[in-house]
Amino acid sequence: MLESIHKTKTRRRQITLLAITTAIFGLYSTIHLSGREAYIAGSPISKSVQNGIETGSGLGMGGDGEGGRCKAIDYVLGKWENVTQLKDEQDLVESYGYSSWRDQDCWPPRFDKQQDKDFSPEDKLHQALKSASPMYIPRNGCHFADLNLEQMIVLMLRMPAGLFMAGDSISGQFQLALNNLLIGPSSPAIFSEPTCQRRTISLDPSHPLTPSLLQSAGVKETRLSYPLMTWYRTVHLVDTEELVLAFNGSSKHVLRPDICVWFDWFDRMSVTIRQALGENKKDMGKEWGSEPTVLVVDTGPHWNTGALGEGLDDEEMMKAFEHMVTMMDRKMRNVPWPMASYWRTTSPGHVGCAMSQQLDNERESYLDPSDPGHSMFNWHLFPRMNDLVRQIAIYDRSPSTFLRLSQKWLFSSAWEWVRPSNPPIRLVDVYDLSLKRPDAHLRPGADCLHYCISGVPDVWQRMLWTFIFEESYSL
């Protein structure tokens, strides 16, 4: 009886403390996040982005910017510099801090209907080194975080089911840049056999470094039953039913039966996380769950008439895209567990990229300067898509000391009772920095949308991890 009374009083104290903490948390969010307009950029061009964000929170901690702190805008509005010319593969691996250089698919410009078979491995290596040699320098003396392999693995081990990424084939390049950092001959990270819908990176239980990594992370061997990273290929982010809603049931919207791009990836992710959270914490380790789930999404190029309906015009497409953004914002912020969400803006294609043989820090358009009237596909919509994402996401989100403590405390089962909304999605805004690299595409003359992995997508990955380290609860 006494034990029951004690439990009841303890529960009442917990609920009271939770209510007080939630009220303060809500007040903090209202004061610090309701002014989201200060972070919104109203235009895709860098000058407008700068004007829209310059009054931002200034909470970024990635380097030596103004006042000793760096804002996200300092990373967004940097410049590329030809510091040195990489000479060989070893140069590239060392320069980028790779565990290995796994993805070497980078082709020289092609003219007169040249094909892949017309280029030698030496040709490809030369182009890859040329693409990877320029270094991206954030402004105001800021710098990206050092991507230490052990620290990255430790953080992902502490996340309940690891890091999740979702998006199209360009998102896949984003993920392949992570492969280069994590997977190598001496690394304990291993890449699973990919399917059309999913790739994963896991920790090898038999690797000699695995026990020490588990110990550093404060987790037990049972944590190895979940991946470090899962990437889902989903070109529109939403499934078929949600697409119908996004287009408001329009008869112009035509569904294609393609299971590899439209599937319930968010539900599958949620099931995995729920299973992980259902594990007994003491069986998983004292630090397990001390980091929130991290989700990184992007979409854009496949929001076109060929994929969604030939009769759709630009305005109908953009209205549906806006509905999708709203859906995803609601889903990502209202999951019943702590989640740090990021949205990578759509990177630009460059019309006529085969004619661009060098970087251009003054570039402000995806169009070919020699033929500015000629556009391609739906690339003209990318800036508008990015503006819609900027309306629901923010640039700087580093939590204060109070926010760190309150959210860490709420990692307990109390989160399930109250279900506070997660913080706003944070932008990984890569459009402007990628716009300056018309010379870095995968197959110039055949593919001016995707990029050679070493170089531009690698910078996207470094920006993301700078933010993840900056926001870490346990580091």
Q: Please state the domain extents for the chain.
A: 35-471
Contact criterion met (CB below 8 Å) for 449 and 441: yes
> ∠ CA(239), CA(244), CA(248), 5° rounding?
145
**Which helix (H) or strand (E) element contains residue 144?**
none
Q: How close are the terminal C-alpha atoms of the chain, in Å?
A: 43
**Can you give the pTM of this predicted structure?**
0.86
Q: Which stretches within 265-313 are classed as H helix? A: 265-277, 281-284, 305-308
Q: Which residues contact 97 (CB under 8 A, 6 or more apart)?
A: 146, 147, 181
- Residue 128 to residue 103: CA distance in whole angstroms: 10
Q: If you average pLDDT over residues 73-95, what whole number do you get?
A: 93
- The pLDDT value recorded for residue 260 is 72
pLDDT of residue 336: 86
Can you say whether the dihedral through the CA atoms of 358, 360, 361, 364 is positive or negative? negative
Q: What is the pLDDT of residue 258?
A: 66
Q: How confident is the model over 371-415, as pLDDT tens digits?
A: 888 889 999 999 999 999 999 999 998 554 445 544 554 555 555
DSSP 394-453: ES--PPPHHHHHHHHHTTTTHHHHH-PPPPPEEEE--HHHHHT-TT-EEETTTEEEEE-S
Q: How far is the C-alpha of 373 from the C-alpha of 412, rounded, in Å?
A: 57
- Cβ atoms of residues 346 and 101 within 8 Å: no
Please, is 197 exposed, middle or buried when counting C-beta atoms within 10 Å of its C-beta (0-12, 13-18, 19+)?
Answer: middle
CA neighbor of 470 nearest in space, from 291, 335, 296 = 291
The predicted-structure confidence for 347-363, as pLDDT tens digits, reads as follows 999 999 999 989 999 99
pLDDT at 44: 36
| 152-161, 277-286, 439-448, range with the lowest pLDDT | 277-286
* CA distance linking residue 19 with residue 12, whole number of Å: 10
The stretch 447-461 carries a mean pLDDT of 95
Task: Please report the pLDDT score of residue 457 as a whole number.
Answer: 95
Give 465's pLDDT tier (boundaries 50, 70, 90): very high
Write out the two tokens for 385. Answer: 């898509």
Do residues 317 and 303 touch, judged by C-beta distance below 8 A?
Answer: yes
| CA separation for the pair 209, 216 (Å, rounded) | 11
Helix (H) or strand (E) holding 87: none
Starting at the edge strand that comes first in sequence, how are the strands of the sheet with 393-394 ordered?
189-191, 198-203, 229-233, 163-167, 293-297, 339-344, 425-428, 393-394
Over the stretch 299-317, which tens digit does the pLDDT of each residue have?
A: 999 999 989 999 999 999 9
Per residue in 205-241, pLDDT tens?
A: 999 999 999 999 999 999 999 999 999 999 999 998 9
Q: What is the mean pLDDT of residues 278-288?
A: 84
Indicate the pairing of strand 425-428 with strand 339-344.
Answer: parallel
Q: Does pLDDT of 112 surpass 90?
A: no
- Contacts of residue 412, Cβ cutoff 8 Å, sequence gap at least 6: none
Give percent of the chain with pLDDT exceeding 70: 80
Average model confidence (pLDDT) across the chain = 83
Q: Cβ atoms within 10 A of the Cβ of 285, count?
A: 20
Q: How far is CA 120 from CA 124, 128, 467, in A?
A: 7, 13, 39
Whether the predicted pLDDT of 30 surpasses 90: no
Model confidence at 193, pLDDT cuts 50, 70, 90, reads confident
- Give 47's pLDDT tier (boundaries 50, 70, 90): very low
Tell me which of 347 and 23 has the higher pLDDT.
347
pLDDT of residue 315: 97
Q: CA-CA distance, 451 to 66, in Å (whole number)?
A: 32
State the pLDDT at residue 420. 62
Q: What pLDDT band is residue 290 in, cutting at 50, 70 and 90?
A: confident
Please name the helix (run of DSSP H) or strand (run of DSSP E) that holds residue 200, with its range, or none: strand 198-203
CB count in 10 Å sphere of residue 113: 8
Model confidence at 81: pLDDT above 90: yes
> Strand 198-203 vs strand 189-191: parallel, antiparallel, or unpaired?
antiparallel
